[in-house]
Amino acid sequence: MKALNNFDKRNRFVFGVTLVASVGGFLFGFDLVIIAGALPFLEKDFHLTPALKGFAVSSAILGAIAGPLFGLWFTDRIGRKKTMMVAAVFFMLSTAGTAFARGILDFGLWRFMGGIGIGLAMMSSPIYIAELSPPEKRGVLVNVNQLSNVIGINLAVIVSYFFSFDDMGWRWMFAAQAVPVLFLMMGLMMIPESPRWLAAKKRLPEALKVLKRINTPEVAAAELDAMQKTLETETGGLHNLMQPGLRRALLVGIIIMVFSQINGVNMMLLYAPSILAEAGVSVGSHAILSSIPIYVFIFICTIAAFGLIKRFSRRGLLITSVCGMCVAHLLMAINLYLHWPPIYTLFPMLLATGAFTLGLAPLSWIIVAEIFPNRSRGKALAIVCFFLYLSSFITAQCFPMLTSWFAGKYNNTAGMYMVFAMICLSCVVFCWKMVPETKGLSLEAITSFWENNTKSNDINSDPVKADQQAIVCK
C-alpha cells in the first residue's frame, strides 16, 4: 500500500510540474492568436494601413525571432525554470503594455516584448518537461505542451468574442492574458529545477533529490549515474553542424520549418476574422464567432493526430497533409474568384487547418527533433527556431500587403491563395525528395545516416539493418 501511495504521489508530482511548464505553450497560442480578434478594432482605432496591420500582427513574431537565441544561452546558464520565469516577466510586461497602448508604435513595442517571452517559453518549456519526465511517459507529457498551445488558441478566440461588443474591448482581450501569466509565475515558485541541468552544474545532491520525487531511490540513483557518464562524453558544438552530412540535416530542418510557416495556414489562423470579414461576414463579433469552428476543429485534429502519427509513416502522413493544404488553397481561390456565399469560405479554411494540424504542424517538430544527433540537438534547434520565427514574421508582415495588392490589381484576393497552393506543391516535392523516414529508428541510426552522408532517397528493405546503419525511406 505504501509503494502504491508513493507511485501515485510521484505521478501527481510529474503531472503537476508538466501542467505548470505547459502554461508556456498555452501563452504561445493565446498571445499569437488574440491579435486575430483584436485586429478589426485596432484597424479602426489606430487607422491602420495594410503595412501597419502586418506590423501589429508580426511584431510579436519579430520578438520571437530573438527568443530562441537568448533562450539557448539562458537555459544553459541560469536553468530551465528561471528561463521560464524570465519568459513570464516578458509576458506580463507585454500584457500590461498592450492593454494600455496609446498608439500602434508602442503597441508594437509591447507585442515585441511578448514575442521574446514566446521565444524563451518555447525553448525552455519542452526541454524542462522532457528532462523531468520518466522515459515511458516522456512522449505523452511533452505533447501536453502542444495541446496547451491549442487550448490557448481556442480560449483566445472565445475571449475575443466576449470582449468584441465594446469598441474598447480589444484592451480587455490583451489584459485577460494576465490570468495565465500569474498562474505560471506562482507555479514556477513551487516546482524544482531540471535534474539534468542540476547535474550538468555539478549540483548532484539537488539533482538526486528531484529524481527521487519522480522515481524510486534505486532508479533515481541509476539515472543520475547515467547522466554523469553522458555529461563526461558530450563535446557537441556548432562546428559539428557544419560537417557535410549534418549540414544537410540542418538544411532539411530549416526548410521544413520555413515551409511550416509560409504555407498560408498560419495566416488563416492569425487573420481569420479579417479574412471572413473580407469575404462578406460583418466586422466585429460576428466575424470572430464565425471563426470559432476553425479553432475548435484544430483542437479536435490535435487529439486525432496522436493516433495518426503512431499508425502511419512520417513521410507518408507529411506528404498527404501538405497535399490536403494545397487542395484547400485552390478551393479558397475558386471560392473567392467566383464570389460564393461567405459561409462557404469556412470549408476550405477547415480543410487547410485540419490537414495542417494532422500532419505538417506536429511532424515538423517531431522530425526536426529526431534528425539531429544528441550532442548538437540543442544548438541545431536554436538555429532552426530562428529561421522558423523569421519566416513567420516575414509572412505575417507581407500577407495583408500582398492581399491588398491582389485586391487592387485584380479586384479579388484569390491570387494570394494560388501563391500558397504553389508553395504547398513545392513543399510536397521537397518532402518526397529530401525528408527521410525516421519512424521506428533509433537516434543513433539517424545520426549515423547523416554523419555517413547517406542520400535520403536510398532505400534499404531490411529494417533491422537500417536501424544499425542508416535511415529507411518508405
**How large is the C-alpha radius of gyration of the chain?**
23
DSSP state, residue 468: H
CA 353, 355, 357, 363 dihedral sign is: negative
- How many whole angstroms separate alpha carbon 297 and alpha carbon 303? 10
Q: What is the pLDDT of residue 465?
A: 42
Contacts of 445 (CB under 8 A, 6+ apart): 466, 467, 468, 469, 470, 471
Chain centre to alpha carbon of residue 164: 27
Which superfamily does CATH assign the domain made up of 1-191 to? MFS general substrate transporter like domains (1.20.1250.20)
> How far apart (Å, rounded) are the C-alpha atoms in residues 427 and 434?
10
CB 118 within 8 A of CB 33: no
Each of the 474 residues of the chain gets a pLDDT tens digit; together they read: 554 455 577 788 888 888 888 888 888 888 777 887 788 888 888 888 877 877 887 788 788 888 887 777 777 778 888 989 999 999 999 999 999 988 888 998 999 999 899 888 877 787 787 778 776 665 567 667 777 888 888 888 788 878 877 777 889 999 999 999 999 999 999 899 988 788 878 888 898 898 888 888 888 888 788 777 766 655 556 666 777 777 788 888 899 989 888 888 877 766 666 666 655 555 444 555 666 677 778 888 888 887 787 778 888 889 999 999 999 999 988 887 887 776 677 788 888 888 998 888 878 877 776 777 655 666 777 788 888 888 877 887 777 778 778 877 777 777 888 888 999 999 999 988 888 887 766 545 666 676 665 544 443 333 334 444 444 444
- Cβ(86)–Cβ(132) under 8 Å? no
**Which tens digits make up the pLDDT trace of 88-127?**
999 999 999 999 988 888 998 999 999 899 888 877 787 7
Q: What is the pLDDT of residues 329-344, one digit of tens each?
A: 999 888 878 877 766 7
Rounded CA-CA distance 74/124 in Å is: 9
Q: Which of 292, 270, 298, 278 is nearest to 404 (CA)?
A: 278
For 237-474, give the CATH class: mainly alpha
Phi, psi (rounded to 5 degrees) for 426: -65, -30
* Separation CA 195–CA 132 (nearest Å): 7
If we measure between CA atoms, which residue out of 5, 66, 39, 32 comes closest to residue 385? Answer: 66
Domain with CATH 1.20.1250.20 in the chain: 1-191, 237-474
Report yes or no on whether pTM surpasses 0.75: no
Residue 336 near residue 414 (C-beta atoms within 8 A): yes
Distance of CA 34 to the CA centre of its chain: 16
Cα dist from 335 to 280, 286, 321, 331, 411, whole Å = 12, 20, 21, 6, 14
Angle at 403 between CA 399 and CA 409, to 5 degrees: 145
C-alpha cell at position 276: 471572413
